[in-house]
Amino acid sequence: MKEIQKNKGAVYCNLGAWERLSETIKKINPSKIFVLTDTNTKVLCLSLFMTNFDFSEQVVVLEINEGEINKNIETCLGLWNQLSEKRADRNSLLINLGGGVVTDLGGFVASTFKRGISFINIPTTLLSMVDASVGGKNGVDLGVLKNQIGIINNPEITLIDTEFLKTLPINQLNSGYAEMLKHGIIHSEEYWNEVKDFDITDIKNIEDTLWKSVLIKNVVITKDPLEKGIRKTLNFGHTLGHAIESYFIKNKGVKTLMHGEAVAIGMILASYISNKTTGLSKTTTEDITKNILKSFSKTSFSQKDIENIISLLIYDKKNNNGKILFVLLNEIGNCKLNCEVPNNLILEAFKFYKNYK
């Protein structure tokens, strides 16, 4: 059985996982069970959940509109009010069934309702399985600024069932794949080589590779739960990735980028910057760039786009005292934290990305 066992924050994957869910709920003995879905997962994932869930008759289903654009305080307010109207009390349980928006937002709603009720995460996208399933980060966006409001608080357990991945279109799978590639880059040559050659649409055989990604994230987070040091490596590609994502959310006319697609670009840019400043070899920079672009078609940026993206960097949560800090690479599996990067090098990196063939 695939499991990460902790008092709170345990993760179970596939074989035996639904049984563990039942045992956990018996232990919690909740006064009511709420299941949070979004407009997508209510249609695509709820019936699989209900089939496997031993307490499906007791479930009260809640629904929010899908998409990052709804990951905000207004949506939380709607849910807090619904929980209140539907008589949730401190012993109620919230099960978050969905992608990162549902698990991040639902985790925050549960953690703050009546100063905290129990919650369980069932990620249904590849991104949320490999990214949001461990670490306890939850929260919502503030305007276009990602995850500015939230806390760190673990769910009782997280259940991963790769069956849910069959509901996903290819761009959604790719979005999670970007995080798996990142885990390879920050962790080891071995996992990088495994994941870069993996066909992400091969759901039947995804379990082992996906689980290694979860374990890598778990090791990092266990060592540094409060993100004082090594946990920052998980932000590789995210400093520019988040700014790119925010920019395109703000300017919907321009183009819509998924989280993983933005991070994929951010990783190429960070690799280029690493090559110029922290000694990442040209060969590895090429290896990273080439393999990312195998799955992620290129996005074009105007000069104005790039300037606006750079101006968004100031809001990055890793910043300190007005300095914008990057995670860079010495080599695969070896990161350098808190690197200051001058703007002209960022511009150069965008040029490298644009001209790469």
- Write out the residues near its own copies by the rule CB under 8 A: 31, 73, 76-77, 80-81, 84, 87, 89-91, 111-116, 137, 139, 142-143, 145, 147-152, 314-315, 317-322
Which is closer to its own copies, CB of 28 or CB of 50? Answer: 28
Decide the pairing of beta strands 334-340 and 325-331.
antiparallel
From the CB of 122, what's the least distance to its own copies, in Å?
Answer: 23
Whole-angstrom distance, CA of residue 37 vs CA of residue 40 = 8
Return the number of other C-beta atoms located less than 10 Å from residue 223's C-beta. 10
CA–centroid distance for 199 within its chain: 20
From the CB of 286, what's the least distance to its own copies, in Å?
Answer: 35
From the CB of 60, what's the least distance to its own copies, in Å?
Answer: 14
Which is closer to its own copies, CB of 144 or CB of 269? Answer: 144
Q: Hey, what are 227's tokens?
A: 């993100």
From the CB of 145, what's the least distance to its own copies, in Å?
Answer: 6
Which is closer to its own copies, CB of 29 or CB of 355? Answer: 29
Query: What Å distances lie between residue 189 and 179, 186, 205, 234, 284, CA to CA?
Result: 15, 9, 21, 16, 10
Which is closer to its own copies, CB of 76 or CB of 168? Answer: 76
- In the block, tokens 């105007």 appear at 302
Return the number of other C-beta atoms located less than 10 Å from residue 197's C-beta. 10
- The gap between the terminal CA atoms of the chain, to the nearest Å, is 43
From the CB of 107, what's the least distance to its own copies, in Å?
Answer: 12
Which is closer to its own copies, CB of 89 or CB of 190? Answer: 89
